[in-house]
Structure 1
């Protein structure tokens, strides 16, 4: 009897559903001749060149809520838990609300009713979604920038990867991005493609009621270009090789 392969999202212990795994395996089979093997990675060149514009600071200006609101990220892997915990006193020290700081230190940051590594919700949002100098965003990211620390090991991967996805198939790691064709198995689903301008130049082009400077059409770039620091951190020795593959393909397309 054939053993079923385990598919999982890299960067989180949260499993893919059977349906997502099925669609992912089907996608790989369909595109097996166009996926480029680089070490343990299967590079989905076409998807990684899909256009996005991560004009994140202006997201709340044009949308009712941002992707950081109304939920929390996928749980983080075991290795990242002590790293985050060690920085919580420093991160919480940057909070403007003293009551919020005390709440963090009293209750911690993990949801004990969910799988280990799951961040707690606070006021309906991820605990780390906080105000900083009049703007709302990730307290981890703000702390890393202000303290001159690397954000990659501190911030949950699933908060950094978008619009890229990394999926461990058991026989290699698929490096792809969310597109209409991959959304059936991507951790990002269909919401970004259907609702947010960052993922759809065509949808943004139709939004003539929005100032041209917000999610400007000339600001859309290939998906992989938004995540190069994180990709280099994750891919390690394969990073330069994969960047070369993607860069060469981009030049050919142009």
Structure 2
């Protein structure tokens, strides 16, 4: 069952379920006094200051699979459909496997519906090996061609651990936490399975080498996405960063 209210995940055509909308509404009501209004945005300071460590290159060393495996990204909006279709031949040509390049060009990027990226062997087609490392072929292409990755890479793939949700009260800028997971596009998997989202789980993982998802490497959620954060929020970014920094200083003073 889908909701027709003004709730949606920003940056994708995939809808929120009625259950996700329900939990989001409950969260907004419960935390009304703690959310900060900044223009059209509702700033969830508690979630945005939650600690994460996106030690992505070491993910496969400590987990059975990474977050890029076992599925496909959220569908992209029409703006990104156009961009990906335009850049797809160049991304394909950038692969080291010429047979795969031909296959990609023959089959195209979409799985039936424009915006929904094809899968290969159970993974997003862009999850590829290069020089012994696995990662996003779009991101690798953008970096090597010195292109801006922000408009090119699927929006939701760049967003984690943040979430951007259209609500009846404005655009909620939040991050996935135990309190938001019931309505976040990220669900509970990251919190339950990946060290990047749980400092508490990492602290008790004494079997890991100290440099893997190092405890002292955890930082507020929003800091991991500053380029995207500023790209999305435009003129509001400085104001919102100031709000978050003030909250950090207030917390430090209280603890001190």
Fold conserved between structures, TM > 0.5: yes
Partner of 1:34: 34
Shift of 1:71: 0.3
The RMSD of aligned alpha carbons is: 1.2
Shift of 1:86: 1.0
Are positions 1:92 and 2:92 aligned together?
Answer: yes
Shift of 1:191: 0.3
The number of equivalent residue pairs is: 250
Structure 1, 79-88 or 17-26: larger mean CA deviation: 79-88
Q: Return 5+ residue gaps in structure 2 as ranges.
A: none
CA distance in 1, matches of 2:169, 2:196: 32
Q: Secondary structure at the match of 1:211?
A: coil
Q: Secondary structure at the match of 1:79?
A: helix
Q: Secondary structure at the match of 1:33?
A: helix
CA distance in 1, matches of 2:158, 2:99: 28
CA distance in 2, matches of 1:81, 1:193: 30
CA distance in 1, matches of 2:115, 2:219: 32
Partner of 1:224: 222
CA distance in 2, matches of 1:230, 1:19: 28
Q: Secondary structure at the match of 1:130?
A: strand
CA distance in 2, matches of 1:178, 1:239: 20
Change (3 A) 1:80 1:151: same
Q: Secondary structure at the match of 2:78?
A: coil
Does the 8 Å CA contact 1:96/1:131 hold for their aligned counterparts? no
Partner of 1:106: 106
Could you list the structure 1 runs, at least 4 aligned residues long, displaced by more than 2 angstroms after superposition: 3-6
Shift of 1:171: 3.2
Partner of 2:17: 17
Shift of 1:251: 2.1
Per-residue CA deviations over 1:199-245 (Å, capped at 9, x if unaligned) read: 00110111111111000000000000000100111111111111111
Partner of 2:128: 130
Q: Secondary structure at the match of 1:103?
A: helix
Shift of 1:4: 6.1
Partner of 1:80: 80
TM-score when scaled to structure 2? 0.95
Per-residue CA deviations over 1:114-139 (Å, capped at 9, x if unaligned) read: x4301000111001001111100000
Q: Secondary structure at the match of 1:246?
A: helix
Q: Return 5+ residue gaps in structure 1 as ranges.
A: none
CA distance in 1, matches of 2:186, 2:90: 30
TM-score when scaled to structure 1? 0.96
